[in-house]
Amino acid sequence: MNKRILMLLLGIVLCLQLYAQEQNVVQKADTKWFPEAKLGLFLHYGLYAIPAGVWKGKEYKGVGEWIQERAKIPISEYEQLATQFNPQQFDANEWVLFAKDCGFKYIVITTKHHDGFAMYKSDVSKFNIVDATPFKRDIIRELADACKKHGMKLGFYYSQSRDWHEADAEGNLWDFKGYQKNFQKYLDEKCKPQLQELLTRYGDVALIWFDGGRKMSDNESTQLVNWVHKFQPNCLTSSRIGNGRGDYETLSDNKLPTTTTDQAYEALFTHNFRSWGYSKTETKLRTPQELMEVLLNTISKGANLLLNIGPKPEGVFQEESIRDFRIIGKWINANAEAIYGSKGSPFPEMPWGYITSKPGALYLHVTKWPEDQKLSLPLNGRSSSAKFLVSGKKIKSKIAGENLLLSLPAKQPDEMCTVIKVSY
């Protein structure tokens, strides 16, 4: 073969290889703020708040935001919900100030859940809050402005593969039975253009909370993460984008971390145990004490907690959620030093509660006050001092062999959880 042609072919092969490599290189974002923030407020808001788990008189227990799939509601019928969506009581400043008061450092809100409805003004699809509802206001815009005003980070939940409104996306087999899907077409024509809108029109986006649905190929995961970082290099992406391509790890829904980490990790829990969207069928709520256990268990393993509320159709949070989040928020604010910027516990689980740590300090979160008023820590005989975090009152301590032994008063200063700071 002609030498020149051979060289040319070789060159083409090399270029193709480089191109392929380029495709799989993921630019990682700066995750530093994330593990320090510790607490995020998750908001699942959408058309599914209207049926709230009940469709044509039938109750669908569990995940309310799945009503379209569970009742196999045809798109044309589901779209009618938009004509009823009119949250007149929605006030972005109120939501953000509530989150701030309760100690949340970031908010993540559904911009598009599996039903495919955009909660913002989208030029890509008319199935959005401004074009399809009598409300006509862009909730995401109002929230972004309020977050900026009050120094709150804002992240966007975006269902990247499931979209029951689109034939080529994952999930809707009742409207599009037997249809041969072209997933890349959906990515190119809806998913990516909508992400571009979200990343170019609302200021700094703290993170994109991708969710599961379809087993993504590595190429698809990489495409989307690079697409996000192309517009905002420091916008984090969640691990549910698949193939280890995300910037931080989200655990399974309503699951505690099992190991301690100093990486960017997040556990997510919903107040009512099962539904993320507002649901009239899921009335049982975690008590403030149960929320505290979830919080402390999570942060003692070094992870963040993303705690969810599904706002009601009128644009307000359930009163019980406001009440209970304020209860734990009060505790969180009083004990802020032991939470924000802390790392997990260097020890295995303790019978009396949980531990968080900072350089030179351990924070003992005592939820079960020891009956014998004794608390011991395996501190290798290191000299240290102990005090109550909130009152600053010193606690009697002595070194007994390897252990630091604390003598506690009979009465627990904070019934919910008392924090003891041990400095060494």
Question: Looking at beta carbons only, is 63 or 379 nearer to ligand H79?
Answer: 63
> Which residue lies nearer to ligand H79 by CB, 210 or 317?
210
The residue whose Cβ lies closest to ligand H79 is 276
* Cα 3-9-12 angle, rounded to 5 deg: 145
| Exposure of 233 in the CB half-sphere (CA atoms within 13 A) | 2
Beta strands in 180-300 (DSSP E): 207-210, 236-237, 249-253, 265-270
Closer residue to ligand H79 in complex, CB, 202/276 = 276
How far apart are CB 190 and ligand H79 at their closest, in Å? 18
Rounded least distance, CB 406 to ligand H79, Å = 40
Least gap, CB of 99 to ligand H79 (angstroms): 18
Q: 349 exposed, middle or buried (CB, 10 Å; 0-12, 13-18, 19+)?
A: exposed
CB-based contact 142:368 (threshold 8 Å): no
Of residues 213 and 413, the one with the C-beta less far from ligand H79: 213
Least Å distance, CB 135 to ligand H79, is 22
Choice between 143 and 379, CB closer to ligand H79: 143
Q: In angstroms, what CA-CA distances link 13 with 3, 8, 18, 36, 219?
A: 15, 9, 9, 46, 20
Nearer to ligand H79, 275 or 356 (CB): 275
- Using CA atoms, how far residue 347 sits from 298, 329, 341, in Å, is 14, 26, 18
Tell me the closest approach of the beta carbon of residue 65 to ligand H79, in angstroms.
5
Where on the chain is the footprint of ligand H79 (CB under 6 A)?
A: 44, 62-63, 65-66, 69-70, 211-212, 253, 276
Q: In whole angstroms, how close is the CB of 209 to ligand H79 at the nearest point?
A: 8
Closest CA relative to residue 41, chosen from 308, 235, 329, 353: 308
Q: What is the CA radius of gyration of the chain?
A: 25
